[in-house]
Amino acid sequence: MLKLVYLFENYDLAKKVLSNWEHDEENLEEMLGYFRISSNAVYPFTRQGRVCFLRMAPVSEKLETDIRGELEFIHYLLKNGYPAMKPVKALSGEELVTADTGYGTYFAAVFEKVDGVPISETDYGRDRMLAYGSALGRLHALSAEYVPAVKKRNHKDILEGIAKTLEEYHGCGQAFAELAAVEAILDSLPVTKGNYGLIHYDFEPDNVFWDEGKKECSVIDFDDGIYCWYGLDLEQVRDSLAQELEGESLETAWTSFLEGYAGEYSYTEETQALLPLMRRFVNLHSYAGLIRCVSSVIGEEPQWLEELRGKLEEKIRKLESGFSG
């Protein structure tokens, strides 16, 4: 998540950055009002009547190589027939724009809206779960053959970043102990073409869209992708489903998801055994991001921000209590 100071809507900023792309003016004010801000600021708009999304973040919050690596991977997926979101070129012909504005310098990119509805808005029925799992399995199969020109960060880079964040933002002692323990275990794991590659990281039900007509899923939001064990993507899906479903419904959905996944890529006992460790890695990464996020001081905060800060601090405390060291 971006630092809290960047979570305010800024339509003037969005318009200034959007001037780098062709866009429809007649409904712009209305469309921009459906923005969302989390790890990026995302503003919808239309271009020749088609819905697109402007995604931007301050350059201090992102690495240019990560974004260029993301765009390169998306083009690789599209070239291989994978239903990923499509980047849109700016008027300059570039897909990534570094925009100097009166509000600072921002990285910006635009993507077309994919067809369908998020899996999170479906009934998690068997055909949806099979397609959902198949989409991740196919992604991992393509990733296993991918040779990048621009390489995104890997798990070791993330661990180094977590360590620096814990130092700078005074992470709790349990987090330092947990980091050391997780790092030691990860260092002992085999890294092969079959179990490790560029993952999505955020393959959650709201980033995967079910198209009822095509009976397939399209995928968005590759921004957080890193090089890591494929099990991390699977653990993120399992955890996301557990937040929405329970009991037999959860077991049925997860079983169908794995069936779809295994139809495209191998799901081994070794992968399954990795899931708890991947959760520990994700929790550390989330914790570091959260303590950095809430560090920004904004003076007199509006009520919505006070409430958000409270929720984030509660998440921090929950994560701290789960660190085993």
Q: Phi and psi dihedrals of 212, rounded to 5?
A: -60, -40
Assign 3-state DSSP to the chain and report helix, strand, coil percentages, each to 5: 50, 15, 35
Of 158, 188, 196, nearest to 287 by C-alpha is 158
Question: What local confidence, expressed as pLDDT, does residue 1 receive?
Answer: 84
For residues 130 and 124, is the Cβ–Cβ distance under 8 A?
no
Of 204, 202, 223, 218, nearest to 83 by C-alpha is 218
Classify domain 4-112 at the CATH topology level. Phosphorylase Kinase; domain 1 (3.30.200)
Instruction: Look up residue 64 and give its amino acid.
Output: E
Rounded CA-CA distance 280/36 in Å is 28
Question: What local confidence, expressed as pLDDT, does residue 269 receive?
Answer: 94
Of 189, 184, 194, 195, nearest to 284 by C-alpha is 184
Torsion sign (Cα): 119, 120, 124, 130: positive
Q: Which two tokens stand for residue 83?
A: 């239903």
Query: For 84-96, what is each residue's pLDDT tens digit?
Result: 999 999 999 999 9
The pTM score is 0.95
For residues 124 and 244, is the Cβ–Cβ distance under 8 A?
yes
Q: Phi and psi dihedrals of 294, rounded to 5?
A: -80, 0
For residues 325 and 174, is the Cβ–Cβ distance under 8 A?
yes
Helices (H) and strands (E) in the chain, counts: 10, 11
Question: What local confidence, expressed as pLDDT, does residue 296 receive?
Answer: 86
Domain ranges (residues) in the chain: 4-112, 117-322
Question: What local confidence, expressed as pLDDT, does residue 299 receive?
Answer: 81
Of 25, 33, 29, 31, nearest to 45 by C-alpha is 31
Q: Classify strands 104-112 and 196-198 as parallel, antiparallel or unpaired.
A: unpaired
For residues 58 and 192, is the Cβ–Cβ distance under 8 A?
no
For residues 28 and 15, is the Cβ–Cβ distance under 8 A?
yes
Rounded CA-CA distance 68/176 in Å is 31
Query: For 218-277, what is each residue's pLDDT tens digit?
Result: 999 999 999 999 999 999 999 999 999 999 999 999 999 999 999 999 999 999 999 999
Question: What local confidence, expressed as pLDDT, does residue 300 receive?
Answer: 86
For residues 250 and 241, is the Cβ–Cβ distance under 8 A?
yes
Rounded mean pLDDT for each run of 10 residues along the chain, 325 residues in total: 91 97 96 95 97 97 97 98 98 98 96 97 97 98 97 97 98 97 97 97 97 95 97 98 96 98 96 97 98 89 93 97 81
Torsion sign (Cα): 121, 81, 260, 233: negative
Residue with tokens 């979570």: 7
Q: Phi and psi dihedrals of 108, rounded to 5?
A: -140, 145
Which H or E element spans position 248?
A: helix 247-262
Q: Which two tokens stand for residue 275?
A: 């899931």
Instruction: Look up residue 156 and give its amino acid.
Output: K
Question: What local confidence, expressed as pLDDT, does residue 169 receive?
Answer: 97
Q: Which two tokens stand for residue 12?
A: 């003037």
Matching fold, domains 4-112 and 117-322: no
Question: What local confidence, expressed as pLDDT, does residue 298 receive?
Answer: 82
Which CATH number does 117-322 carry? 3.90.1200.10
DSSP 154: B
Q: Which two tokens stand for residue 7?
A: 């979570």
